[in-house]
Amino acid sequence: MFTKLSLRLRVFLFFCLIALGGTGLVLVSLWIGHSRVASTSVTDGFVFAGIISILGTVGLTAGIWLLFDENVAKPIEKLASEMRTRAHAGVGSDVDTNAARYLGDLAPAASAVTTALSDTALSTAQKVAAETERLAAEKARLTALLTEIPVAMILVNANNQIVLYDGQAAEVLSQIGVPRLNAPISEYFDLASLTSAQNKLNKTGMEVTFSAKGAHDRLSFDTRMKPMDGGGYMLMIDAEHVNIAPDAARPLVYDFDLMERGEEDLGDQTKLRDLTFAVFDTETTGLLPHKDDIVQIGAVRVVNSRIVDGERIDQFVDPGRPIPPASTKVHHVTDAMVAGAPDIGVAGAQFHRFANKSVIVAHNAPFDMAFLHRDKTRMGVEWDHPILDTVLLSAVLFGASQTHTLDALCDRLDVTIPPELRHTALGDAQATAEVLVRMLPMLEARGLTTFGEVVEETRRHGRLLEDLN
């Protein structure tokens, strides 16, 4: 019956309930107070009536507030978050009108708007998909062509950050560290040899041939440095002197927007879209950071609001002790899998390099970071990266009263986790990264465009993590 009432009438009935309930409480209180006058005094009767009225009014207000919150406020908040999700995160599922069934015509109207938006977006997406398919085919041909050329190529911008690397260059870089877009080239090659070659390049404007030493004295490469229009340079490494698998199938990885990128900045005023994120997850021997150990680290990178294919970590870690069977049942990591794997000192330092100049992102970050902080001495690092937590981002976007598990977020944002990857470090890291990428435009739509604004907003929901842990 109540679902057929208009929203204005429904709100009017709330006020009627307050008026009628308040009037009834006062009359009952006066009657009770009057009945006490005979056995006590007039003053005592009025005081008693006043106390009952106050307590009754408080109780009535609380009850009506709970009704209003459950049937009006929460559904409106949920409806608004669902509309933002469909408007900014590309989610195509229908709006849940049942949750807003007491909001009159608001829910059907919202559903109609989102359906029309989805239809328009679908039409646009089909055109984009066709063009994307054509570009993908061209990229595949280019990748195949570059693979046949015995030269590894790396494009570096004016701020010495990697903008592009081909499949063979990925094999070169991986011998030193995990290949990463937007990473300083000095993380892979000795800064002195690069600077010397760059100085010659700037003086002559001509191609420079030199020996590029790998960072940390790892390997040495016959390299040519060629200037690029608008700043930056191309490094070309002779593949004959590099141990590259002939059938290496890494794609061409690039982001030409990075050519215009300034110095990397992780300050509060940095735009969300300009941040680089290292999204990670861990699997452990148990749930106690002060006594349990990491057995697997998975991580992916998000650059310019997109996940970079191929830039990932999927590393088993030897905990130095047997993995409890109860933990293995959850993440399926066995003692045999971690046998011969690096310990947390080596694996943690590898992830630290992977996350250099990035914002670290995790789902329930305090849990995973507690393990890393405990072993930072063994790693020889300091974990001073800025951090974002997708639990808190979810609370900002969808309201603290909603469910904020990773599964719930994936359902809400149309992110699919293959069953075989659920509760694996890389699988959960990939899912968290996809959730993050869908959340970023939603945060900007809420007016939270800088890193500092997002952090400030998440602090309001810090209690969620305290309760979760």
What token pair was written down for 94?
Answer: 């229908």
**DSSP state letter for 230:** T
What token pair was written down for 131?
Answer: 């063009």
Residue 105 lies in a domain: yes
Residue 128 lies in a domain: no
HEC assignment per residue over 337-395 = HHCCCCCHHHHHHHHHHHCCCCEEEECCHHHHHHHHHHCHHHHCCCCCCCEEEHHHHHH
The per-residue pLDDT for 125 is 57
Residue 322 lies in a domain: yes
Of 78, 102, 118, which marks where a domain is finished? 118
In order of 169, 184, 328, 389, 433, the CA distances from 306 in angstroms are 21, 19, 32, 18, 9
Q: What long-range pairs does 297-300 form, CB within 8 A, spacing at least 24?
A: 297/347, 297/348, 297/351, 297/425, 298/424, 298/425, 298/426, 298/427, 298/428, 298/429, 298/430, 299/351, 299/354, 299/355, 299/426, 299/429, 300/426, 300/429, 300/430, 300/433
The per-residue pLDDT for 453 is 96
Residue 247 lies in a domain: yes
User: Do 278 and 415 lie in a common domain?
Assistant: yes
Residue 359's CATH number: 3.30.420.10
Place of tokens 């310019």: 304
Residues 6 or more apart whose Cβ sits within 8 Å of residue 253: 164, 165, 166, 170, 179, 181, 308, 309, 310, 311
Residue 138 lies in a domain: no
Helix (H) or strand (E) run with residue 189 in it: none
User: Do 248 and 391 lie in a common domain?
Assistant: no
User: Do 381 and 448 lie in a common domain?
Assistant: yes
d(CA 53, CA 235): 82
Residue 139 lies in a domain: no
Residue 64's domain spans which residues? 2-118
Q: How many domains does the chain have?
A: 3
Residue 195's CATH number: 3.30.450.20
User: Do 341 and 401 lie in a common domain?
Assistant: yes
Residue 130 lies in a domain: no
Identify the three-state secondary structure at position 105. coil
User: Do 283 and 227 lie in a common domain?
Assistant: no
User: Do 333 and 432 lie in a common domain?
Assistant: yes
What token pair was written down for 56?
Answer: 């009754």
The per-residue pLDDT for 1 is 53
Of 67, 102, 118, which marks where a domain is finished? 118
Helix (H) or strand (E) run with residue 224 in it: strand 220-227
The per-residue pLDDT for 55 is 87
Helix (H) or strand (E) run with residue 37 in it: helix 7-37
User: Do 275 and 234 lie in a common domain?
Assistant: no
Query: Which segments of the chain have a pLDDT < 70?
Result: 1-6, 90, 92-94, 104-105, 114, 116-126, 128-129, 131-132, 135, 138-150, 239-251, 262-264, 467, 469
Residue 216 lies in a domain: yes
Amino acid occupying residue 344: I
pTM above 0.75, yes or no: yes
User: Are 323 and 314 contacting, i.e. CB atoms less than 8 angstroms apart?
Assistant: no
Residues 6 or more apart whose Cβ sits within 8 Å of residue 174: none
Q: What is the pLDDT of residues 81-132, one digit of tens each?
A: 877 787 777 676 667 777 777 776 677 777 777 676 666 655 665 676 676 6
User: Are 368 and 48 contacting, i.e. CB atoms less than 8 angstroms apart?
Assistant: no
User: Do 302 and 249 lie in a common domain?
Assistant: no
